[in-house]
Amino acid sequence: MKAFIVDKYGKNGLRAAEIPKPSVGRRDVLVRVSAASINPLDKMVRNGEFKLLLKYKTPFVLGHDVAGVITRIGAEVQGYKVGDEIYARPRDLRIGSFAEYIAIEQDDIALKPKSLTMEESAAVPLVALTSWQALVEVAQLKPGQKILIHAGAGGLGSTAIQVAKYLGAFVATTANGKDTEKLRRLGADEVIDYTKLDFSQLLSGYDVVLDSLGGDNLIKSLTVLKPNGLAISVVGPPDAGFALQIGKPLLKPVMSLLSFKIRSQAKKLGVRYSFFFMRANGAQLKTLAALYDADLLQPVLDRTFSFDETLAAMAYVEQGRAKGKIVVTLPMT
């Protein structure tokens, strides 16, 4: 089958290749890929930013989001059958959606939302799971609380705005002013044009910040929080909790050191900091599918590329041009 593989870490490490179809374990389903979406995480994994933590053995197939059709099921799989249309964010070390076929553990999949196309469904899993887990599980966001979501026009931001609004929060977001109306339609109560205004000079008393930019943006985000407020970053630096999440408790001291500066600044301000790295969860995808089918959430796509144009699609995302998710589509066979 055709796939896009990482055979060496780095910007030029992704290439097209012909490889065998994946083997199917007893708890796996084999999926013929209809569409896959591109996430910043793909670039980070390709570049080797997680190679000390997620030990992918090169060459490996890249791609963290998928929608497709089950063509084969393992002996212990229950609740799914050949022909089912599913969507998934495969678990770490089992990724590989930039391919014609992928084998996925049954606990990581769900039937795709009936109201969405394959392309729309492929745009959803990673950003929807990230939004749900960060806001429901980590932040425990409550009705009436105030949240600042950075980069609202991006794939994660546009989804997180909708999830926060569904949870009943007051939502502020940073974005280019050109996107203001679109973001208000998605549920943003306040849109701050980062090209003209400094959010840290305008906002205060927020319960939660969801940061996807890092650096100075994360540091400034601490100042808009109320006492004991929580800043969640999906780009780091990682903290001790991440070492436990990936099953490597011996790395807790290293992770604590990496996040020492931001945690110290948070403590000085009387607020909290948490690094967040989403996990695969088919049960949550089932819950989210119901929200999409009820029109409580909407996928936000920028554009699609053909599967052969996967490298161009990656470049488009890296250039920071996307206003929503970028999806690659495969021809039906």
Convert the pLDDT of each residue in 238-269 to its tens digit: 888 888 877 788 888 988 898 999 999 999 99
Q: Is 111 in the same domain as 141?
A: no
- Same domain? 171 vs 35: no
From the list 9, 32, 37, 5, the residue with the least C-alpha distance to 18 is 5
- Domain range for 325: 2-124+299-329
Could you tell me the pLDDT band of residue 50, with boundaries at 50, 70 and 90? Answer: confident
Residues 116, 139, single domain; the answer is no
Q: Decide: 210 and 160 in contact? Cβ < 8 Å.
A: yes
7 and 57 co-located in one domain: yes
Percent of the chain predicted with pLDDT > 70? 100
Q: Is 139 in the same domain as 249?
A: yes
Angstrom distance (rounded) from CA 58 to CA 53? 15
- pLDDT band with cut points at 50, 70 and 90 for residue 203: very high
Count of residues making up the chain:
333
- pLDDT tens digits, 287-318: 999 999 999 999 999 999 999 999 999 999 99
> Mean pLDDT, to the nearest integer, of 143-164?
96
Q: How much is the pLDDT for 213?
A: 93
Indicate the pLDDT class of residue 333, thresholds 50, 70 and 90. Answer: low
Examine residue 284 and state whether it is found in any structural domain, yes or no. Answer: no
**Residue 175 pLDDT grade (very low, low, confident, very high; cuts 50, 70, 90):** very high
Residue 190 has pLDDT above 80, yes or no: yes
What's phi and psi for 120, nearest 5 deg?
-65, -40
Residues 100 and 23 in one domain: yes
Rounded CA separation 49/43 (Å): 9
pLDDT in tens, 12-44: 999 999 999 999 999 999 999 999 999 999 999
37, β-bridge pairs: 327
Q: Which of 139-153, 207-221, 286-300, 312-326 has the lowest mean pLDDT?
A: 312-326
pTM: 0.96
User: Looking at residues 136-164, what average pLDDT do you find?
Assistant: 97
Residues 148 and 188 in one domain: yes
Cβ partners under 8 Å of residue 90, min gap 6: 64, 66, 96, 97, 102, 104, 105, 108, 280
Q: Domain check: are 113 and 140 in the same one?
A: no
Tokens 């650096």 belong to: 215
* CA 136 – CA 138 distance, rounded (Å): 6
Considering only the C-alpha atoms of the chain, give the largest distance between any 2 of them, rounded to a whole number of Å. Answer: 59
Structure confidence at residue 54 as a pLDDT band (50, 70, 90): confident
Task: Please provide the DSSP assignment of 102-135 as one string.
Answer: EEEEGGGEEEPPTTS-HHHHHTSHHHHHHHHIII
Q: Kindly state whether residues 135 and 238 are assigned to the same domain.
A: yes
Average pLDDT for the chain: 95
